[in-house]
Amino acid sequence: MKDQGRAKRGIPPKSEFNSWYPAIVEIADLVDKRYPIKGMDVWKPYGWKTMSLIDSITRSEMERTDHLEYRFPLLVPEDLLEKENRLVAKLKAARDAGVDPSELRIGEEDAGFKKEVYWVKHGGENKLDVPMFLRPTSETPMYNMFSLWVRSHADLPLKTYQIVNTFRYETKQTRSFIRVREIHFFEAHTVHKDEETATKQIEEDASIVQNILNKLCLPNIISKRPLWDTFPGAWYTTAADVIMPNGRTLQVATYHHYRDQWAKSFDLSYEDENGDNQFCHQTTFGMSERLLGAIVGLHGDDSGLILPPAVSPIQVVIMPIATHISDDVLVYSNKIKKDLEECGIRTKIDDRNIRPGNKHYHWEIKGVPIRLEIGPKDISKEQCIISLRTGGKEILPLTDLPSSILSSLDIISEILGKRANASYREMVSQLPNSTISDGTLTFKEPLNEGIVYEFPFDGNDADAEILEKTSGLTLLGECEESYKEPRPCIMTGKLTTKKQHLAKMY
Amino acid sequence: MKDQGRAKRGIPPKSEFNSWYPAIVEIADLVDKRYPIKGMDVWKPYGWKTMSLIDSITRSEMERTDHLEYRFPLLVPEDLLEKENRLVAKLKAARDAGVDPSELRIGEEDAGFKKEVYWVKHGGENKLDVPMFLRPTSETPMYNMFSLWVRSHADLPLKTYQIVNTFRYETKQTRSFIRVREIHFFEAHTVHKDEETATKQIEEDASIVQNILNKLCLPNIISKRPLWDTFPGAWYTTAADVIMPNGRTLQVATYHHYRDQWAKSFDLSYEDENGDNQFCHQTTFGMSERLLGAIVGLHGDDSGLILPPAVSPIQVVIMPIATHISDDVLVYSNKIKKDLEECGIRTKIDDRNIRPGNKHYHWEIKGVPIRLEIGPKDISKEQCIISLRTGGKEILPLTDLPSSILSSLDIISEILGKRANASYREMVSQLPNSTISDGTLTFKEPLNEGIVYEFPFDGNDADAEILEKTSGLTLLGECEESYKEPRPCIMTGKLTTKKQHLAKMY
């Protein structure tokens, strides 16, 4: 019966994740993908509201940690980019000259993003004197202004953020929320007086990320990215990845310690307490609509979305039940709605004159955490019936209903977290045993793209390259969590507590 | 003394409005204009927060009136524009063929905006197959999707809005908030089953605009724009203008009745109750960061901004007073802050160790409605001293302080409204007497660009043209408010209650 309902609504089973995901984002009315530019979806109200609630959590974390919200222009003149390109060229030259890469830590890619940006070269019928591009991220426009704003140690730390649209000329296949060309993006950029205070900022970023992912019930892997995956110009990059049901990892947050590398390029310096000029140290921290992609992917089931209560646009949907919905039932429904809303619970009454089964399906697909039914009999018994989207029904007395509902919402968050953790544990396996001879690595059993492999690793870049080439998977980098007992590194055999993961990344 | 303080802070007197305005937006730290693209300012936190509070008022009005928030892509493929161009061409042809313009009511301009948009023709190093432009406004991208969404009468009304960045390749001189190239823009677009329900929407828009302008303490003139100022493809356009202190009018809101003109161009139709296909009727409604420009311009004074309490990021700034700020004073300050915040009052403590006079100037420039001073003597008397930014000091008992503060905030809004109304009455004058001979209009005294002229008008387009040419000013259109007693039209001499205004528009 249930399967028939699902099929009727056009939802593939979640076990076929690569069909389920693109179908559910449209069936649940988060986005419409029919806009005539690939990778630029229209956000429907339900999707946009959910994203806005995620943004609200981010904003309150930013406020708690004394970051201030700015809004920088979207367009960046090409000539500003030259500073960025000079930085990358300089760092590359230093490395080519044999400077120890662990000291330098710069990325391989072209920081200029030149190949990945959309260009604006015409205004009306005029060719512009200086071409401009649509920001892929805002280092260049921001640091240009920071160097005007920072004069003395009293101006530091400068803690800024913005939530904006960014753009990438994406040539790979696009996927809603995961790989798009107009990106709903959060970016924090901070400026500090020295390496140590910038390092403290990275620690704060780490705690902010965990606070947010915890509210979204998303277990994650924290890794220090390998050198070649480090953000251009960064000293090191830390990333949070979640594991999607198909075993692919999705990077949902990154934070970068820049030391004073960008500052030197942008003349970003300050006068210290002794009147000496010092270069600033900087960090950045980014997240995006991928957070919503992770929520959809990790929590949904065969029947549709399941939204974590913290970001569900509707936390309780009240369904008045009666052959003909009586005034009395509606009066009660409105009273319940009012009581719940006074306690900050987002509530909606669905009094449409359609079959209860259809209403049920509708809100199930949309992942509303609690459905609340009330009919004439319930009123006489001073009770109502709630169904949790995670499963189970309960009869609740109407007295003190808001606090019962709040507990139920907490229980749903807890269940989502536990389920996601259980699935996480299922998806992560030990890397199969392997042998190395003449630099050739051979696994004793074939690897599976649907699995994230963990293993002790203490090798060098060459070892890492062999691992990636042989497995066809990507290294996430040194995991923040290490083994409790030392184990032999799979490449060098040396005992180590350092952990790494190999996975197919989105 | 006071003048010296002002001059020291670099603020020109407000009587020199054209210097005062561009100076104050930077001195009060709303924006930084040094970003290397003219007309694209960086929003500083204080400016962005004020704008966000204006947006919150708009959002709550949208929620009250059952509009839903969408987010459409920024980029529009050029080929979508062809529908829009076809519409304008068709309407032009009809008019050229002699169709009564009062029946047709289309704008003169090229709806394609081709000359006013920024073009994206390159992604990375590739030339795009279809050029795209940055939305100047979203009719084209939205209506293309609406025609997929609207099928039957049950889908109507469709009430949508978004708050987004829009772009105009502006060749005139730019001014912060007033004429910019990246515009912080609000746009509502609605679809209805017939002209009558669309007209009701226009009435709702009118009430929303007044609710918002009332909260911002902005008196305004409502006019039905003349045909040549009607939005392309609209049946009629209504606009709200405020009068800036230099006598120029600033259009801060417009709402347009489209009838079914756009719908016919975008194949936007529905099946009615009888199974017949009908074209939809549409409206749009737009506002922008100009609302903030109007607030700055109308309420500020020689000493800086004065922000209406409804949108002031800080409503009360607490300044602990003592030679050395004692713990006791700080404890009290924090308690007051907590009490005020519990009542929803945005409060900040300024406990910087700088001269009280400097603090005073700082918050005066930023236009914080209430400064609250508390020192050891006040604590012993269980009182504090508040200074209203609109003038005057008061001693308030600490008991029941939040409700006293709330009343003071209301008083400030009232004073701002009254002052703005008084200045409005000063700026609007009767048009000087004139004579007409051989179609040549002569005013008996010279006109003044710093004045908005009102007068009875019942003439035709030719009369209007003569008026604009002779005065060098622009007609705002038929005023919503009419004369109580009929007066002779200044052009035709016919008795009429219809009122118009001539002004220099921004």
Cross-chain Cβ contact A120/B134 below 8 Å: yes
Q: Which of these three, A267, A298, A329, is where a domain ends?
A: A298
Candidates A46, A117, A118, partner chain B, best to mutate (most B CBs within 10 A): A118
Cβ-Cβ contacts under 8 Å, A116 against chain B:
124
Residue B406 vs residues A429, A442, B295: alpha-carbon distances, Å = 61, 74, 21
A473/chain B closest Cα distance in angstroms: 27
Q: Which of A487, A505, A485, A484 is nearest to A431 (CA)?
A: A487
Residue A405 backbone dihedrals phi, psi, to 5 degrees: -65, -45
Q: Is residue B419 part of a domain?
A: no
CB nearest to A80's CB, from B36, B119, B184: B36
The torsion angles phi and psi of B359, rounded to 5 degrees, stand at -60, -45
* Dist CA A81 CA A99 (whole Å): 25
Is residue B418 domain-resident? no
Can you give the CATH number for the domain in which B476 is found?
3.30.110.30
Query: In the numeric block, which tokens belong to residue B214?
Result: 């009332």
Say if residue B138 is in the same domain as residue B107.
yes
pLDDT at A220: 98
Q: What is the pLDDT of residues A391-404, one digit of tens each?
A: 999 999 999 999 99
Q: What is the pLDDT of residues B415-453, one digit of tens each?
A: 999 999 999 999 999 999 999 888 789 999 999 989 999
Pairing type for strands B452-456 and B428-430 reads parallel
- Closest C-alpha among A348, A338, A345, A350 to residue A407: A345
Residues of A in contact with B123 (CB under 8 A): 117-119, 169
pLDDT at A253 over 90: yes
Interface contact flag, B75 A37, Cβ < 8 Å? yes
Interface test with A, best of B55, B69, B114, B119 (most A CBs within 10 A): B119
Residue-wise DSSP of A285-348: EEEETHHHHHHHHHH-BTTB----GGG-S-SEEEEE-SSS--HHHHHHHHHHHHHHHHTT--EE
Q: Which residue of B has its CA nearest to A158?
A: B45
Residues 6+ apart with CB under 8 A from A12: A19, A20, A23
Closest Cα to residue A190, out of A59, A70, A57, A55?
Answer: A70
Residue ending a domain, among A419, A451, A478, is: A419
Q: How far is A116 from chain B (nearest CA, A)?
A: 5
B355 shares a domain with B270: no
Let me know whether A64 and A156 are in one domain: yes
Contacts of B120 in chain A (CB under 8 A): 118-120, 134
- pTM (2 decimals)? 0.95
Q: In CATH, what number is assigned to the domain containing residue B202?
A: 3.30.930.10
- ipTM score: 0.94
Average pLDDT, whole number, for chain B? 92
In a domain, B317, yes or no: yes
Asked if residue B80 and residue B18 are part of one domain, the reply reads yes
Residue B237: strand pairing partners: B256
- Domain finish residue from B251, B276, B299: B299
pLDDT score for A99: 61
- Nearest CA to CA, how far is A66 from chain B (Å)? 12
Contact A68 B45 (CB under 8 A): yes
Q: Over chain A, what is the mean pLDDT?
A: 92
Tell me if A3 is assigned to some domain: no
Residue B450 lies in a domain: yes
Distance CA B406, CA B403 (A): 5
Inter-chain CB proximity B148 and A32 less than 8 Å: yes
B229 and B342 assigned to the same domain: no
Per-residue pLDDT at B439: 79
Please give the structure tokens belonging to residue A52.
């806005």
What number of residues does chain B have? Answer: 506
Which residues from A are below 8 Å from B144, CB to CB?
35-36
Chain A residues whose CB is inside 8 A of the B45 CB are: 68-70
Residue A218 lies in a domain: yes
Nearest to B29 by CA among B53, B15, B11: B11
Beta-carbon contacts below 8 Å between A and B: 135
**Please, are residues A499 and A455 in contact by the beta-carbon 8 Å criterion?**
yes
Residue A268 lies in a domain: yes
Domain match, B354 and B241 both: no
**How many angstroms from the chain centroid is the CA of residue A167?**
17
Q: Are strands A316-320 and A347-349 parallel, antiparallel or unpaired?
A: parallel
- Higher-confidence position of A104 and B376: B376
Contact across the interface for B117 and A132, Cβ inside 8 Å: no
Share of chain A above pLDDT 70, in %: 92
Do B364 and B484 share a structural domain?
Answer: no
Q: What is the CA radius of gyration of chain B?
A: 26
Total domains present in chain B = 3
- Cis amide linkage into residue A36, ω under 30° from 0: no
Considering the domain architecture, whether residues B433 and B475 belong to the same structural domain is answered as: yes
A151 domain residue, yes or no: yes
- Does residue B119 sit in the same domain as residue B41? yes
- Regarding whether A400 and A261 lie in a shared domain, the answer is no
Least confident of A25-39, A295-309, A426-440: A426-440
Chain A residues in contact with B119 by the CB 8 A cut-off are 120-123
Domain range for B147 is 2-299
Q: Which of A29, A46, A75 to mutate to test the interface with B (most CBs of B within 10 A)?
A: A75
What's the pLDDT at B82?
73
**Same-domain pairing of A234 and A360:** no
Is the domain of B405 the same as that of B327? yes
CATH of the domain at B365: 3.40.50.800
